């Protein structure tokens, strides 16, 4: 009985093996002549050999599948890298380089480039780091012609050879930004002209500086570092270079994202909101500039260099200007459109004026609501602070007040204003013939 059971079990095993052999592929050569068939037959001569053979076949299949999967993944990665590389290469760059192998004179970054710490827009990157900064705020009522006139006079003043220009916009206005780009192009054309006398009031020599120490010729802080064109108009002997500042802009919402004065003033116009935007801007730039000018672009024209008055004074000094044509007052009114001084003094005064705006509007200590029907006048608050010795002393600011004249088409009056103050006050749309000639 035991031998019959053993015979029956062996018959079942070999029957199962016969069923498995059906799934193996056929060979081109006959089984009797193929050496591998003999190895296969010998490997299937016992159940233990069969299990060992199946394990080897299974491990081989898993290894082949793993190698195939890795190969496919590697191909996908290489294809993705190749596709990304082709999509980022500018096909016109090689052609443009062959047509114009010399780099442009002036950096023309895209308007999408941030000016500073992922904020603002960079319109023109200057040739070097400047010690002076001109901050011009754009009011809501300014026109493209007003901004164009301001820029053209500013470039001819020579101040841009020693200072960077920052504009603060109440909101993004494409037409005004186009004016800035157009005037940058015009300024570049003036720099490339061999005879500067063809343009009224432009002196090319004031934009050419001698380089005695290369270590002092530092790179501009605005935008990305310039790793390309480093000659910046350098002469053949390397002793002279072109010197001009950067032109950038910020939105008021970038510098004052919470609109700080909205809870105290019903209608926060740009002439008030700019004082809430200065703390962030001046705080981040306090170590980069020595002298600052705050300018209302719609009121002031720069036809000289007013910062020469404060370059020899202390960092806490601030100068204000009065309108010499003010009538009906014993003391001339302070002009809010122009404030110049050392970086420390201007920053402290800005903080004091912002605090006074909040106090006058009813936001002082103990007042949780703004006063009703209170008209906050920038000129009135500015005049009150400047003439209050206690407030100026508490702010640790050294203040001086000078007179400034109004605009005139008279050339003698124009020359006297340039020599004395380097600025001229604009009044509405009453522009003299001299200004329209520049347009």
- Give which of 339, 323, 334 is closest to 275, Cα–Cα: 339
**Any domain includes 330:** yes
Q: What is the pTM for the complete model shown? A: 0.70
CATH number at residue 195: 3.90.550.10
**Any domain includes 128:** yes
Mean pLDDT comparison of 5-14, 53-62, 389-398, highest-scoring range: 389-398
Burial 222-234 (b: 16+ CB within 10 A, else e): bbeeeeeeeebbe
- Calculate mean pLDDT across residues 334-339: 91
- List, for residues 221-278, the tens digit of each pLDDT value: 998 776 654 445 444 445 788 999 999 999 999 999 999 998 888 888 999 999 999 9
**Any domain includes 297:** yes
Mean of per-residue pLDDT scores for the chain: 75
The whole-angstrom separation of Cα 325 and Cα 338 is 16
- Calculate mean pLDDT across residues 398-418: 59
Give the model's pLDDT for residue 296: 95
- List, for residues 371-393, the tens digit of each pLDDT value: 555 678 899 999 999 988 888 88
The least confident of 286-300, 325-339, 343-357 is 325-339
**Any domain includes 28:** no
- Calculate mean pLDDT across residues 192-203: 61
Does the pLDDT of residue 45 top 90, yes or no? no
Q: Of residues 110 and 136, which shows the higher confidence score? A: 136
The whole-angstrom separation of Cα 364 and Cα 319 is 27
Q: Based on the structure, what is the number of domains in the chain?
A: 1
**Any domain includes 236:** yes
Using CA atoms, how far residue 218 sits from 29, 211, 226, 231, 330, in Å, is 82, 11, 11, 13, 49
**Any domain includes 9:** no
- Give which of 155, 151, 154, 147 is closest to 175, Cα–Cα: 147
**Any domain includes 337:** yes
- Considering only CA atoms, give the Rg of the chain: 39
Domain that holds residue 341: 121-438
**Any domain includes 428:** yes
Does the pLDDT of residue 416 top 80, yes or no? no
Give the model's pLDDT for residue 95: 42
Q: Whats the size of the chain, residue-wise?
A: 439
297 and 137 Cβ atoms separated by less than 8 Å: yes
261 and 358 Cβ atoms separated by less than 8 Å: yes
């Amino acid at each position: 009985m035991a031998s019959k059971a053993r015979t029956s079990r062996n018959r079942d095993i070999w029957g199962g093996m016969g069923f498995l052999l059906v799934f193996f592929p056929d060979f081109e050569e006959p089984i009797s002549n193929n050496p591998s068939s003999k190895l296969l037959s010998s490997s299937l001569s016992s159940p233990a050999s069969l299990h060992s053979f199946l394990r080897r076949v299974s491990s081989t299949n898993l290894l082949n599948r793993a190698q195939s999967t890795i190969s496919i993944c590697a191909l996908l990665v290489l294809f993705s890298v190749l596709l990304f590389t082709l999509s980022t290469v500018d096909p016109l760059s090689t052609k443009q380089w062959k047509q114009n192998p010399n780099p442009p004179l002036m950096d023309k970054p895209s308007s999408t480039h941030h000016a500073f710490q992922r904020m603002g827009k960079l319109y023109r990157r200057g040739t070097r780091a400047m010690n002076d900064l001109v901050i011009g705020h754009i009011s809501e009522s300014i026109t493209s012609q007003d901004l164009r006139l301001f820029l053209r006079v500013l470039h001819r003043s020579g101040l841009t050879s020693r200072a960077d220009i920052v504009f603060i916009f109440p909101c993004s206005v494409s037409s005004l930004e186009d004016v800035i780009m157009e005037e940058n192009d015009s300024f570049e054309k003036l720099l490339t002209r061999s005879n500067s006398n063809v343009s009224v009031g432009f002196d090319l020599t004031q934009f050419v500086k001698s380089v005695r120490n290369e270590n002092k010729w530092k790179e501009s802080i605005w935008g990305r570092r310039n790793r390309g064109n480093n000659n910046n108009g350098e002469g053949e002997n390397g002793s002279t270079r072109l010197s001009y500042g950067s032109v950038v802009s910020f939105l008021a919402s970038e510098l004052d994202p919470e609109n700080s004065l909205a809870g105290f003033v019903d209608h926060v116009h740009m002439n008030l909101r700019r004082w809430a935007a200065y703390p962030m801007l001046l705080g981040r730039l306090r170590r980069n500039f020595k002298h600052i000018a705050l300018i209302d672009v719609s009121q002031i024209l720069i036809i000289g260099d007013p910062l020469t008055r404060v370059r020899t004074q202390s960092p806490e000094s601030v100068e204000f200007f009065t309108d010499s044509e003010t009538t009906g007052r014993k003391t001339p009114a302070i002009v809010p459109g122009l404030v110049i001084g050392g970086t420390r003094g201007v920053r402290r005064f800005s903080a004091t004026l912002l605090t006074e705006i909040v106090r006058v509007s009813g936001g002082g200590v103990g007042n949780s609501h703004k006063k009703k029907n209170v008209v906050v006048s920038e000129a009135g608050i500015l005049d009150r602070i400047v003439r209050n010795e206690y407030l100026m002393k508490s702010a640790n600011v050294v203040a001086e007040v000078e007179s400034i004249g109004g605009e005139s088409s008279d050339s003698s009056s124009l020359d006297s204003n340039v020599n004395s103050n380097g600025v001229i006050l604009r009044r509405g749309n009453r522009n003299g013939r001299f200004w329209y000639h520049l347009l």
